Structure 1
């Protein structure tokens, strides 16, 4: 009786770490075993054994199987052969080959080229093993094909066998041994088939790295992707590159490429497909590249710098009811003035500016009470007047420095209340009409207007639409310290507001050469690299940990070709578009239908 009680207590204490407990937790509900396939849960699986290999293998000879466009488990079992055993086997093999050669010579036969080649290879291998340059291994290679139905399983098995035959690998089904074959392809380290082939170190090394050139398929039991969009085709495997930026840790992205690499074309494609996915898109466009696209799809274009178009940086969002809303506008005006001046003002001028902003709001009758925020907001010239009224050297100096933007040549953008309230699924903020001195401030004003809409808590809820903010030619803003800080803050805060920030630049040095640019990259779960300049490839390779092959790919990439990276996932792609998408992206909206 005590012994029985001990056994019952031990069984009760057994946890999932035990073999049976682990199988009960992660294993399928049932397995149906037939001679040519297994039914595992709701799917089907069939195992193939690689029985024949080519005489010589090249680098990455497993890549065609690893990149097969379907669910295929490739298992490689490697068992080292002791050096003493390897040397003895090689001596016997060389003796047999040499005996055949001498027999043919004694009988006057022509030399067998196969025997001659095998004898030379055996002698070379024996020499490398004796010197410690190589070792022998017993290798088993098994392929487990998965499919949701029997018909699809038969088709997939035939496709996999044809793919293996293309690299001179002979395969045979594990008939009557499907259960052992399935367990041999699981991450258990158990070879239940024992179909091994002796290989040397070089042959095994050429099979590595065991990585696919395609994005990984969902794990068993996980549902397939329900969202996402087509990014392009994989030139290595002809597979489809389908990516959902909204399913990642954050929806931010960076697109880095040299001029003429096709980055604007790729971003326009993403904008079009995001609109079809019910995403609200706002684009900061310095070169009017998105204006015709916005017109074609019913979007709204706001041309900063055009006659009568003004933005008041002191406006408080009408839907914002946070008690700190006025303070937030004052802080943004500090950032804007630092960008206007090209530097952060001295402490004495910053103190005078802060007092002047509060005085301007007070004179307009706007306090920290949300009920007063619907009143007309003060203008930049009102802040300058408040500075002059302080009658101090610091305030007077700062007021004089702000003269070009309040009463001088650059006043048009700030000289009056906001004239345009953006609305619509696609809003394009064009800064093409702005002078070079106003390009960075204009981009900052556009981003602020976009962010005020995204950050308004009154409209944030579970049904808040997804928003994508696209900043093209971001180097214009990144070269200003305060502008770069503002962009980095947006990159950090976008995820909590169901928004994504997409930063596009051709000046890779401005983004990678600063700490704030590194912050933008670190907070972008999706990273797109198109063709790079030879002068920048070393920096890009160092920041993104590119391999030598990936660096060469980016140097020789054609227009629209590049790398999609997210964490450990990396895949090459070539952007593809439908005929109508192509017309919209290149701006040729008058292309005849028969073209």
Structure 2
């Protein structure tokens, strides 16, 4: 449909300034004031707020899901009426590998593990320089309203932000974060003062000694070139050029923003949208149809005068009429409304040849999708303002679209996670950017799984994460349950404690250890007594466990021992031997039977768990080697280990220390109900207690066969999915509704590659490390390399 210039007071003050000329660089920035809450006053009773939108995995979604996301985005756009203006801004910034390393690298502390930190940093740097584009694209939404009263303007914008937050969450959990004044100014400074560190003093602004523009305006803007601006700052000169997309194809592609942000180009893509009220939009379409009907009538008369068939109309008129009638029908039967749209692309570079090349790249990307872009001539200052996330659009060009047509310009592409101080898992296999995840911050809980076939790099990935946590989080404890003698080299390298758990081991764990802490949930004595009943049942109760009378007797004896211990701090922790003596002293026949059954475990050849704990509980890296647990002690020994670990978690919680527990060959732990119930209980309570549990396994089929394990897997916020068998890949893809591309990555990954799930995000990653590195030798389990 026809383009038209905006009506009313839009940009009156900016036009007056252009007519008399800008006196300072600050004047050309299109806002009047920035409030402390980040709301900007643009002049002419216009106000705007900007929010940051988290990205979602649109490109890797199934085609069906992509269509659903486009419809959801269109519905969101439809909620804004003719009194609002929207601007979607995608800001791409590039970082070299050393800039990224300053964010993600491990700092040396002069301690005994600096050699490992230094090698980790070398591996990260090589990985980033190997294939990384290190281009980060942030997505922003700016909402602008017209309102004379400042308080009402702020209340309206805050309400729109709240409603937007709720609606956008339906787009695969997209989250929005409103920008305060400092954050919004930082963003403007990034665009107007590239290369300069952002320095901002809110006190100066509040006192009136400085304006917010003093912290973002360039020193000088040279607009003598009709197609290029030169921004001068302390860091040097930056050349900028803004293009606009003049024509779109009849059937638009959803790849437009993805193609433009996918270029290795610093700059912005801005989509300005001005919705019409439905009645106004309908009148506009009717008026346009009436104009074309009049034109058709004139064409018919002209044809009759020329003695040619009256209905032979120009093809463009015939097509336009059909398009307009279809649009009117669609608007009448659906929720569609009309929007005025402008798409502007701004690129920047330090030199003119590089800028010209980047402009060519943008033109080529648009042509690829049958769009026509052109550089703004004599309007670069207006283009600069249109590119800033302020909600200002002084450019006169417009294209009228429906909301579904505007929604096709989908701003979402793929998720990136680069949490500062997070663990480095490798690089995003799609973008080459660093993949850094802080499991304590990014996800709803810190629980997770590492899953993969033999030889997929599963053990390497788990050990790499353990090592990174140990080296970068000195106040955290890491505990590993090792059923295959696999973690001894890593334990030695990290100066850890290795505990051999077996009946004849010199390392002793007292199954009756208790943590008496009034801050714990519930009564710790009753909770521990119940745990003792379960452990004794697993040890001597057979497949059915203890009967009611036996449970009561064990409960009475355990409660008595713990109450004596609580009342006399000089007493040592109760032991299994103490419980045996209590049972012997009891008069009931059932008690004597229990004592007799326990005798070999307290006085005989299997008495490895009868005494006080000798394990060093102060070491930050502790490996419990349970490979020697077998026969009748296997279940009981595992329950003792888990109970001991929970005591450690409880003590750490009191000391404000986080605990990480890794269980290798995790599927084995669900072969009996006692261990599986303990694992499930620890999993459910983990977040509140500062615990991150991680299961490591290759046997996914057996894992999915357990109801408890399946629950844990479905509710884990973090997953490392290495290469899978075709059957397992299909099951996992069905569980999480993965696209064919992501499913293919699951089934065809090389060792060290796979999918990472953090919260709602699924990111393909490459975590391979050099085979000649010390870390590789510590991590590998390959035969002949261990």
TM over 0.5: yes
Gaps of 5+ in 2: 1-44, 46-147, 160-177, 186-211, 224-228, 296-315, 331-335
- Contact 2:341 2:399 (C-alpha < 8 Å) held by counterparts: yes
Aligned to 1:142: 344
- Contact 1:440 1:476 (C-alpha < 8 Å) held by counterparts: no
2:440 alignment partner, SS class: helix
Alignment of 1:218-257 (within 5 A): 225-248=419-442, 252-257=446-451
* Cα distance in 2 for residues equivalent to 1:545 and 1:490: 28
2:508 alignment partner, SS class: coil
Aligned to 2:491: 294
Aligned to 2:258: 63
Structure 1 counterpart of 2:727, from 521, 535, 548 = 535
1:490 alignment partner, SS class: helix
* Cα distance in 2 for residues equivalent to 1:497 and 1:32: 48
Aligned to 1:371: 569
Query: CA offsets per residue over residues 318-353 of structure 1, 9 Å max, x none?
Result: x96779554443233234335445555343332222
Give 1:212 deviation, angstroms. Answer: 2.8
1:246 alignment partner, SS class: coil
- Contact 1:356 1:384 (C-alpha < 8 Å) held by counterparts: no
* Cα distance in 1 for residues equivalent to 2:659 and 2:694: 11
1:544–1:20 Cα change, 3 Å: closer
Matched, 1:442 2:637: yes
Q: How many residues align?
A: 536
Give 1:243 deviation, angstroms. Answer: 1.5
Greater CA drift, 46-55 or 426-435: 46-55
Aligned to 1:222: none
* Cα distance in 1 for residues equivalent to 2:677 and 2:266: 44
Give 1:469 deviation, angstroms. Answer: 1.9
1:402–1:388 Cα change, 3 Å: same
- Contact 1:284 1:447 (C-alpha < 8 Å) held by counterparts: no
* Cα distance in 1 for residues equivalent to 2:607 and 2:550: 24
Give 1:269 deviation, angstroms. Answer: 0.6
Matched, 1:357 2:555: no
Alignment of 1:77-92 (within 5 A): none
1:442 alignment partner, SS class: helix
1:367 alignment partner, SS class: helix
- Contact 1:48 1:171 (C-alpha < 8 Å) held by counterparts: no
* Cα distance in 2 for residues equivalent to 1:494 and 1:152: 54
1:455–1:25 Cα change, 3 Å: same
Aligned to 1:380: 576
2:569 alignment partner, SS class: helix
Matched, 1:285 2:479: no
Matched, 1:329 2:528: yes
Structure 2 counterpart of 1:274, from 436, 455, 469 = 469
Give 1:266 deviation, angstroms. Answer: 0.3
- Contact 1:492 1:523 (C-alpha < 8 Å) held by counterparts: no
Aligned to 1:113: none
1:304–1:428 Cα change, 3 Å: same
* Cα distance in 1 for residues equivalent to 2:727 and 2:612: 46
Aligned to 2:509: 311
- Contact 2:429 2:765 (C-alpha < 8 Å) held by counterparts: yes
* Cα distance in 2 for residues equivalent to 1:331 and 1:530: 39
Matched, 1:560 2:560: no
Structure 2 counterpart of 1:576, from 751, 764, 768 = 768
Taking structure 2 as the reference length, what is the TM-score of the superposition? 0.55
Query: CA offsets per residue over residues 244-282 of structure 1, 9 Å max, x none?
Result: 223335561312423223221101111111122024321
Aligned to 1:417: 612
1:354–1:239 Cα change, 3 Å: same
* Cα distance in 1 for residues equivalent to 2:179 and 2:650: 48
* Cα distance in 2 for residues equivalent to 1:157 and 1:369: 82
Matched, 1:473 2:611: no
- Contact 1:309 1:419 (C-alpha < 8 Å) held by counterparts: yes
* Cα distance in 2 for residues equivalent to 1:418 and 1:345: 26
Taking structure 1 as the reference length, what is the TM-score of the superposition? 0.70
Gaps of 5+ in 1: 1-6, 93-117, 218-224
Query: CA offsets per residue over residues 5-61 of structure 1, 9 Å max, x none?
Result: xx9xx8475441468999996954326484437899x99996743548999998846
- Contact 1:232 1:240 (C-alpha < 8 Å) held by counterparts: yes
* Cα distance in 2 for residues equivalent to 1:216 and 1:145: 24
1:45–1:170 Cα change, 3 Å: farther
Give 1:457 deviation, angstroms. Answer: 6.7
* Cα distance in 1 for residues equivalent to 2:629 and 2:256: 56
1:232–1:64 Cα change, 3 Å: farther
